[in-house]
Amino acid sequence: MRLFALCLVLTGLIGQSAQSAELTAVVLSVNPQQYLAFHNAAQQFAAAHPAIKLTLRVLENEQYKRELPAMLSSASPPDVLFMFGGVALTDAAQKGQLAMLDASGQGSDWPRHMPPALLRLVTVDGKLYGLPLSYYPWAIYYNKRALAKAGVAPPASFAELLASCDKLQAAGVAPIVMAAKDLWPLAGWFDYLDLRINGLAFHQQLLQGKLSWQHPQLAQVFAAWQQLRDHHCYDHDSAALDWRASLPMLYNQRAGMMLMGSFWTGLLPSRKVNDIGMIPFPKIAAAESAYEEAPADVLAITAKAAHRQEAEQLLRFFATPAVQAALASATGVLPARQDAPAENAPFLKQERALLNHASGFSQFFDRDSHVEFAARAMPILREFAYGQLSAAEAQRKLEAERNRHYGPLNGKP
């Protein structure tokens, strides 16, 4: 955290010469490499636009999430904000907190070079409200040596995943490192179980409060999750660790597998890259569609931006292939533009193949639902995953929170 604090001071040094316009932007960074990529991009923008004074704040992930609601509702918000694709962007647009972009993406050709599924995530009522920067899959990452020592092949089915937990336990290896202190890594397990069993439309309706958490179709989801509990798949020692602190367990062979977004690979030591493999979340139902978790990171202009013209120039700059490629490679994710030159980063070909074959994308538990509901729901998911609640108890508590936040369902299941 100290590195981020020092770097924030440096961003204030960009463009200190006499200039005619000021521009403020606040973005999110998950690692020092991503911070440096934003810093370098800001310097390039300042050099290309000497008449604009750019003040760029780069906040760590959790801090950004805490500050975002206040920034959006401020009477004088930053001109440009990092946003999450999905419900968060849609809500902000419908509340009048974001500026609508013109159909061409503020004078740029970027919409023609992005997958339709990504553009749908920044489109509200047929209008564009954000520039996708990057997107990334969630997948199961595994330590090849740890699995080989336990006689385990990378699981291709849910039954194989359960069996691998038994074998890894017997070999003295934690089957799955969880990083449950952050809560959201654990919520990814619910997302994938529900996507694999009930599909994308059901999953999105559930997280948007349109279906009860006691819906009959959720019984199989919690039953599958119960099987993961019964096979002792989750490592209890990592339950108190955040996602960064848990990573050495995987790449040092103390754990066999981890479900995580590909952004974590930006922190993988280069000497360990060849030890790690990547597979999609295993199938559960034979005929299921291949829906994947693929959160999108976005830049948007606030509706009350004091420097709208300069903000549009900044978005055009971040829409260029070279800038998108640099930002994506720093984090181990995919650039939103399909024509962006992709670095030969670990897992890049697998990530593209996984998402290119997907039937649709979810945005993650706390992006597909309202932030207030997610904050109350994720601790309940944690209690269930670690055996502190039964399925029925967890579903009752989740439904109570759904009703508290979204209201009654008028008798619908």
Structure confidence by residue, pLDDT tens digits, 178-230: 988 989 999 999 999 999 999 999 999 999 999 999 999 999 999 999 999 99
Nearest to 312 by CA among 3, 29, 45: 45
Q: Which helix (H) or strand (E) holds 261?
A: strand 255-261
Can you read off the two tokens belonging to residue 147? 């699995």
**Nearest CA-CA partner of 146 in 255, 281, 258, 272:** 255
Q: Which amino acid is at 311?
A: A
Q: Which distant-in-sequence residues (6+ apart) come within 8 Å of 298 by Cβ?
A: 82, 83, 84, 85, 89, 121, 122, 130, 131, 132, 133
In angstroms, the CA 386 to CA 68 distance is: 31
pLDDT at 412: 57
CA distance 125 to 59: 30
Lowest mean pLDDT among 204-213, 253-262, 286-295, 384-393: 286-295
pLDDT, residue 267, reads 87
pLDDT tens by residue, 325-364: 999 888 888 999 989 887 666 788 888 889 888 888 899 9
Which whole number is the average pLDDT over 128-149? 96
Domains along the chain with CATH numbers? 2-135+295-361 (3.40.190.10), 138-293+370-406 (3.40.190.10)
Q: Which of 81, 59, 51, 66 is nearest to 3 (CA)?
A: 59
Asked if 224 and 193 count as a contact pair (C-beta separation under 8 A), the reply is yes
Query: Do residues 235 and 186 touch, judged by C-beta distance below 8 A?
Result: no
221-248 in b/e burial notation, b at 16+ Cβ within 10 A?
A: bbebbebbeebbbbbeebbebebeebbb
Percent of the chain at pLDDT > 70 equals: 92
| pLDDT single digits (tens) 301-327 | 999 999 999 999 999 999 999 999 999
Report the pLDDT value the prediction gives residue 109, as an integer from 0 to 100. 85
Tokens of 217: 């179709």
Residue type, 324: Q
- pLDDT tier at 8, thresholds 50, 70, 90: very low
Checking if the pLDDT of 283 tops 50, the result is yes
User: CA 318, CA 310: separation in Å to the nearest integer?
Assistant: 13
367-378 mean pLDDT = 92
End-to-end CA distance of the chain: 45
Query: What's the CA angle centered on 88, arms 243 and 329, to 5 degrees?
Result: 50
Burial string for 178-217 (b: 16+ CB within 10 Å, else e) reads: bbbbbbbbbbbbbbbbbbbbbbbebbbebbbbebbbebee
pLDDT in tens, 75-125: 999 999 999 988 889 999 999 999 999 755 556 789 999 988 889 889 999
Whose CA is closest to 305, among 134, 71, 86?
71
Q: Are 215 and 413 in contact (CB under 8 A)?
A: yes
